[in-house]
Structure 1
Amino acid sequence: MVIDLPDGLRAGPMQATDAARWAALLEAVEDVDRRDENFDAEDCAEELADPDLDLERDTLLVLDGDDRAVAYMVARLRVGPPLGLRLVVDAAVHPRHRRRGIGTALTAAAHRRADELGAAVVTRLAESGADAIALAERAGMRPVRWWSELVRDLTVPVKPISPPAGITIAVLGRPYDAARWDEPLRLAHNSAFADHWGSAAIGPTGWAHQRTGARAFRPESSVVALTGDGFIAGYILSYEFPAATARSGTRDLYVGTVGTLPAHRGRGIAGALLASVLQGAADQGYATASLTVDAENPTGALGVYDRAGFRPHRRDVTYLRPAQSSSGGAKWARASTDGTV
């Protein structure tokens, strides 16, 4: 990517050797922004090793004269309804280097890359992040979707919920049997989220790296709902982030994905799965459980989470700049009312 920067700074694609300084940058950002997003060098190394991430074309690391990271951008190409082809951008600037035009330069670079690809640009920002939101809006982006982060206090007893007739709940367990579960889970996920807003189908390699092969994955806190003939009707994948645990001193189980296949919705499967996961987490010593949900989710997810004892913690907002037409104008599409990014 081409980028224009203030004097004394330079940028280039991220490399595997950048994990430690990227982690240091993220720690400095979290110290100020307080978004409860904590990543250590191992997390960053895992991200940089993602086979679906094109480091050369779709990442940038901005360095100062002492080779310290002062900003970064990671862009992932995705395709799926209702946005079609889009570049999902994640970026941040070190607090000491803000208001120097670096964020503007990163945004412009991402938009140029999207235009090369004929893609929309999507980014998710904290609703409380006034500066980042102002930057997005100056760049022609508009809010299209809101997300609620919910937290549950696990010292509050969990009410058990039995699965519906014909359904059994199984813990994936440790050691995780990838040969047994990876492909059925991936196919179930792609089916469960096919009609969800901003979702994209995931392939076998990406699934193994990003979901069940991730360092944070906790198979002992992940469950499946099985039909009588052994097919997956619903599932929950859970994660614990070591850097967050180290920083806070308490354990939070992040309920990363809750999926129910369309044919089995409305039967109480998600509630039964959640009760199983939450009770297990409490037994394992977690202090809280958290998750993120589409505030407009039409499948009743917010009600399920409220009944499970989750309460609002903060909100994020997705900003969109549609793909540009050949004449340079934006092709705005009305957002649908499904799912999750």
Structure 2
Amino acid sequence: MAAPALPPTLLRRPMHPGDAARWADLLEAVEEADRRGEHYDAVDCAEELVDPELDLDRDTTFVLDAAGAPVAYQVLRMRSGTALGARVVTDAGVHPAHRRQGIGRALLAVAVQRAREKGASVEMRVAETSPGAVALAERAGMTPLRWWSELVRDLAEPVAPVAQPAGLTLVPLATGGQYQAARWDEPLRAAHNAAFADHWGSTPVSATRWEYQRTGGRAFRPSCSAVALAADGTIAGYVLAYEYAADTERTGRRDLYVGMVGTLAAYRGQGVAGALLAHVLQAAADSGYDDSSLTVDAQNATGALGVYERAGYRLHRREVTYSLPAATLATRAVP
């Protein structure tokens, strides 16, 4: 069966750094229709397009109309190093004015072809409230693999203090208002890779990716991020937090996104994450943030959801990861 083709009036090409502003406009149009609470500006998109681990020529697609206006995009990211095997994770969107024309199917076919080249599965994560995306995944024979809960906490509600775990010291990651990358990057990366080694779908983070994605971007907020240090100075747990300027501009509310929470296996069950979260949330409240949000694996076996609920977070929306296994891709075309 031939792969689905784009409508003949549309052109497809790889994305490049000069597309940042137009990509941001497209993402905002998608957000207006889908209401996922995700906003990006041109600077955010420019950061994405210089990702050192992203092959723009092979793993990005920009779909343009005859006038050169963007109508759809796709970014493919390669993941490996877990029991799940090699995976191609697709992030894609279609402008609401161009939906129901087969563009989503054509983009998914590109992801499938790339996965076949890599001997990998294909994954896509969609909101449960996005019927078009859910229908696309299910028509392609993809099956639900994992569920995710987006939680929100109103910082107008007081933050209950949590006792510091015995033998540990909580330390903010901003010293004199600045983050010391030479001091913290490598210990944090090592702690994260160890803490998430047993988490579903997690892959080790390289030094390049850590600097680019975790602590080197403009969204990172070290003054609202912290570590718990053991007596020997090693990291027992950590929380890294972010603020996205486009979200603040669009919503008029400052949200502190807790992007990473990790506790080393030897320190689990001692209240490390709860103490760190209380510290971070109080710092956020003191700094004038209105809300805090985070996303958690709803099937996380470490009890993370309970930790967040005790910290005052409540369910806002859910998303689901759909998968098409490599073995299936090797034997049939995507419908």
TM-score range, shorter chain: over 0.9
Equivalent of 1:236, from 239, 252, 265? 239
How far does the alpha carbon of each residue in 1:176-219 deviate from its partner, in whole angstroms, 9 at most, with x for none?
A: 10000000000100001111001111100010000100111111
Q: How far apart are 1:162 and its partner, in Å?
A: 1.6
> 2:123 matched to 1:122?
yes
In 1, Cα distance between the equivalents of 2:218 and 2:39?
14
**What is the Cα-based RMSD across aligned positions, in Å?**
1.3
> 2:299 matched to 1:296?
yes
Contact 2:29 2:96 in 1 (8 A): yes
**AA aligned opposite 2:305:** L
In 2, Cα distance between the equivalents of 1:179 and 1:290?
28
> What pairs up with 1:1-341 in 2 under 5 angstroms?
4-173=5-174, 174-324=177-327, 328=331
TM-score w.r.t. length of structure 1: 0.94
Q: Report % sequence identity.
A: 63
CA spacing shift, 1:169–1:285, aligned 2, 3 Å: same
Q: How far apart are 1:6 and its partner, in Å?
A: 0.3
CA spacing shift, 1:326–1:11, aligned 2, 3 Å: closer
TM-score w.r.t. length of structure 2: 0.96
How far does the alpha carbon of each residue in 1:320-339 deviate from its partner, in whole angstroms, 9 at most, with x for none?
A: 11113696169xxxxxxxxx
In 2, Cα distance between the equivalents of 1:93 and 1:135?
12
**AA aligned opposite 2:209:** G
In 2, Cα distance between the equivalents of 1:177 and 1:3?
49
**AA aligned opposite 2:132:** D
Q: How far apart are 1:37 and its partner, in Å?
A: 0.5
- Tell me the secondary structure at the aligned position of residue 92 of structure 1: strand
Contact 1:11 1:62 in 2 (8 A): yes
In 2, Cα distance between the equivalents of 1:309 and 1:41?
33
**AA aligned opposite 1:54:** D
- Tell me the secondary structure at the aligned position of residue 179 of structure 2: coil
- Tell me the secondary structure at the aligned position of residue 15 of structure 2: coil
In 2, Cα distance between the equivalents of 1:65 and 1:21?
15
Q: Structure 2 unaligned segments of length 5 or more: list them.
A: none
**AA aligned opposite 2:259:** G
CA spacing shift, 1:183–1:3, aligned 2, 3 Å: farther
Contact 2:116 2:329 in 1 (8 A): no
**AA aligned opposite 1:143:** P
Moved segments of 4+, more than 4 Å: none
Q: How far apart are 1:3 and its partner, in Å?
A: 7.4
How far does the alpha carbon of each residue in 1:2-36 deviate from its partner, in whole angstroms, 9 at most, with x for none?
A: 97210211011110101011000000001111100
Contact 1:239 1:254 in 2 (8 A): yes
How far does the alpha carbon of each residue in 1:234-289 deviate from its partner, in whole angstroms, 9 at most, with x for none?
A: 00000000000000001000000000011111110000000000000000000000
Contact 1:240 1:252 in 2 (8 A): yes
Contact 1:3 1:11 in 2 (8 A): no
Q: Structure 1 unaligned segments of length 5 or more: list them.
A: 331-341
**AA aligned opposite 2:222:** P
- Tell me the secondary structure at the aligned position of residue 302 of structure 1: helix
